[in-house]
Amino acid sequence: MAMTKVEAAKLTQDLLLRGVIETVVKESTLLQLLPFMEVTGTAVTYNREATMPAASFYDVGDTWAEATPTFTQVTTSLKIVGGDADVDNFLQAAYADPNDIEAETIASRAKAVAHKFLDAFYNGDVATDAKSFDGLTKAIPAGQTIAAGSNGGNLTLDLLDQMIDQVKPGRPDALLLSKRTRRKLSTLRRASGNLLETDVDQFGRRALFYDGIPLVVDDFISDTQAKGSSGNICSSIYAVKFGQGIGVMGLEQGGIQVETIGELETKDATRHRIKWYAGMALFSELGAARMEGILP
């Protein structure tokens, strides 16, 4: 069963763990939207449809031909992301509210865990870091990638619409972009005589939309990507659908965990470990598209 981290936080009875999940979620709007699938084992294997079976017209009495689809089997492994948080015993004993210093220390480490996952979600590449997982930039195939120009180019509404049309079936659930690209998109809309739409999202907050599709601004989408001879000055927009079988999902086993390791031998502190067996899967290559090479 898939659920978002927001829903997972509501279900846990452990106040410390709930606080860690809520801290992780607050680090990105993406984590409020991304559904996670519980994985049994160290990896998930799924089939992507490669070709559809052919259909034909027939006359009465014709011999019907059998046809079957073909599939490509894909395996995505879980990775371990986490870190230790040491709480100084003196500060814990002397602090006015002992829960505050412990919560603040663990929350700080939880933020780092969230940042590491989010960076990998967009920029992860197993070829350069085998301990990570492939992010959207690498997972989205060339056939679903549109370049603003061979050496980078300006964002246009036509290119954006073309990228959105690459996602099938239906429309994307979100457009993921950096703040810089959001500003460029706002400028384009104003120049065309229209503003980006504003509405209330599913969390009751005011949000921006493009043609009815929510805009998710994320600081982990790099504005220093290289395209051709443009140097490290480009960015990307990602159009995604969320869900098993149709698009992008997070993978995890056991959710975010907080373990108390105990007293340390070399210093007067108690260690807590925040760990997350997690990954990302693109179930359908048609469930995501990317526009790359967007110049400032």
User: What string of DSSP letters covers 153-187?
Assistant: B---HHHHHHHHHHS-SS--SEEEE-HHHHHHHHH
Of 13, 33, 103, nearest to 250 by C-alpha is 33
Percent of the chain with pLDDT over 70: 93
Contact assessment for residue 170 and residue 164, using Cβ atoms and an 8 Å cutoff = no
Question: Where do we find the tokens 């927001």?
Answer: 6
Residue 120: its pLDDT value, please?
96
**pLDDT category, 213, cuts 50, 70, 90?**
very high
The domains found in the chain, sorted by start residue, are: 2-49+74-294 (3.90.1690)
pLDDT band at 11 (very low <50, low <70, confident <90, very high): low
Percent of the chain with pLDDT over 90: 59
Give the CA count within 13 Å in the CB-facing half-sphere of 153: 13
235-254 CB burial, b ≥16 within 10 A, e <16: bbbbbbbbbbebbbbbbbbe
pTM here is 0.88
pLDDT digits (tens, 9 = 90+) for 101-123: 888 888 888 889 999 999 999 99
pLDDT tens by residue, 229-265: 888 999 999 999 999 989 999 999 988 888 999 999 9
User: C-alpha dihedral over 159, 164, 167, 169, to 10 degrees?
Assistant: -140
